[in-house]
């Protein structure tokens, strides 16, 4: 992709996702996630009903009347977008590839963080960590993240969620918000996921294609595996093969759901070809009701 085409793509995504963040997600994002704690704001005269534990005894003694300390929530947050860019990201039967949706969702979340003056960072992974951008503030940081999500070409086509989470746990020591975007066609990540959920506010976004839910009778066709880069002829007229595929997909669904549930982390599913806007808004509104 040449520079001019890349800049056009970045600009198109910026216009679309920045508008969404400004009008739809900014307030929802702001109220969905808590700050790191409470910080001192000011002292004021004691009022009836104030907690006596908040009395500032030094100021009270000096002014000879009771004063209390006032605290406010520290709103500055750190958002990490952890995105799967393995070979299966180039799959999509609904007019848009999985990786394109991943980029749009990541950009929307990044602009939501920008609206709230939060830091935002990026981790791209396949079966290894492909690119890590430390969290920073500012529009230029958000645009850099979008460029990387569009342009970066992974060194590997395979997937390893565990490796990505272990790397994140090592480099991201302060508590943050982590959105993990993947198709989750992987296993053996539950332990790393639990550690991440203990350290951070973790949200898993599973990107699925409706074609993956139930395999139709397509007869004998060539199937290309984007992650292993191999091609095989498969007889999908066989009910046994179709059932075997569907059982495997169900096992992936179950592992994803159970792993996040046991870790106490949030999860949502976005189906390609449907509105991720409704899925995200529904998630934020549900979270705000807790």
Q: What is the pLDDT of residues 225-238, one digit of tens each?
A: 656 666 767 666 77
The pLDDT of 95-115, averaged and rounded, is 89
What pLDDT does 149 receive? 93
Instruction: Share the mean pLDDT of the chain.
Output: 84
What pLDDT does 246 receive? 81
Query: Over pLDDT 90: what percentage of the chain?
Result: 43
Nearest Cα neighbor of 253 from 195, 207, 199, 218 is: 207
Domain ranges of the chain: 38-73, 76-288
Tell me, rounded to whole angstroms, the distance of Cα 201 from its chain centroid. 10
The pLDDT of 61-76, averaged and rounded, is 76
Give the DSSP H/E element, type plus range, for residue 113: helix 98-115
Radius of gyration of the chain (CA): 23
Higher pLDDT, 81 or 56: 81
Rounded Cα distance, 284 and 20, in Å: 14
Higher pLDDT, 33 or 188: 188
What pLDDT does 13 receive? 77
Distances (CA, A) of 169 to 67, 80, 85, 101, 221: 42, 11, 19, 25, 42
Q: What end-to-end distance do the CA atoms of the chain give, in Å?
A: 45
Rounded Cα distance, 123 and 81, in Å: 6
The pLDDT of 158-164, averaged and rounded, is 96
Least confident of 212-216, 246-250, 261-265, 268-272: 212-216
**CATH number for region 76-288:** 3.40.50.410
Q: What is the DSSP string of 31-96?
A: HHS--S-EEEEEEEE--TT--GGGB-HHHHHHHTS-EEEEEEE----EEEEEEE-SGGGG--SSSS
What angle do helix axes 98-115 and 276-288 make, rounded to 10 degrees? Answer: 40
What pLDDT does 236 receive? 67
């Amino acid at each position: 992709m040449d520079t001019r085409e890349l800049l056009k793509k970045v600009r198109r995504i910026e216009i679309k996702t920045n508008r969404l963040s400004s009008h739809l997600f900014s307030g929802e994002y702001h109220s969905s996630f808590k700050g790191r704690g409470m910080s001192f704001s000011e002292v004021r005269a004691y009022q009836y009903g104030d907690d006596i534990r908040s009395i500032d005894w030094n100021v009270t003694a000096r002014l000879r009347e009771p004063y209390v300390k006032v605290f406010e929530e520290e709103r500055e947050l750190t958002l990490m977008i952890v995105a799967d860019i393995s070979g299966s990201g180039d799959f999509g039967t609904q007019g848009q590839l999985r990786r394109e949706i991943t980029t749009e969702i990541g950009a929307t979340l990044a602009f939501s963080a920008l609206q709230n003056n939060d830091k935002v960072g990026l981790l791209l992974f396949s079966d290894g960590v492909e690119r890590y951008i430390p969290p920073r503030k500012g529009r230029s940081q958000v645009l850099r993240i979008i460029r990387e999500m569009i342009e970066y070409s992974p060194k590997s086509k395979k997937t390893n969620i565990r490796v990505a989470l272990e790397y994140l746990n090592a480099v991201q020591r302060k508590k943050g918000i982590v959105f993990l975007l993947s198709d989750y066609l992987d296993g053996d990540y539950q332990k790393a996921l639990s550690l991440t959920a203990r350290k951070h506010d973790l949200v898993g976004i599973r990107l699925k294609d409706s074609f993956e839910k139930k395999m139709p009778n397509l007869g004998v066709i060539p199937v290309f595996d984007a992650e292993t880069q191999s091609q095989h002829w498969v007889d999908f007229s066989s009910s046994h093969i179709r059932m075997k595929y569907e059982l495997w997909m169900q096992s992936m669904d179950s592992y994803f759901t159970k792993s996040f549930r046991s870790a106490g982390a949030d999860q949502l599913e976005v189906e390609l070809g449907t509105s991720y806007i409704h899925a995200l808004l529904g998630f934020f509104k549900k979270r705000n009701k807790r």
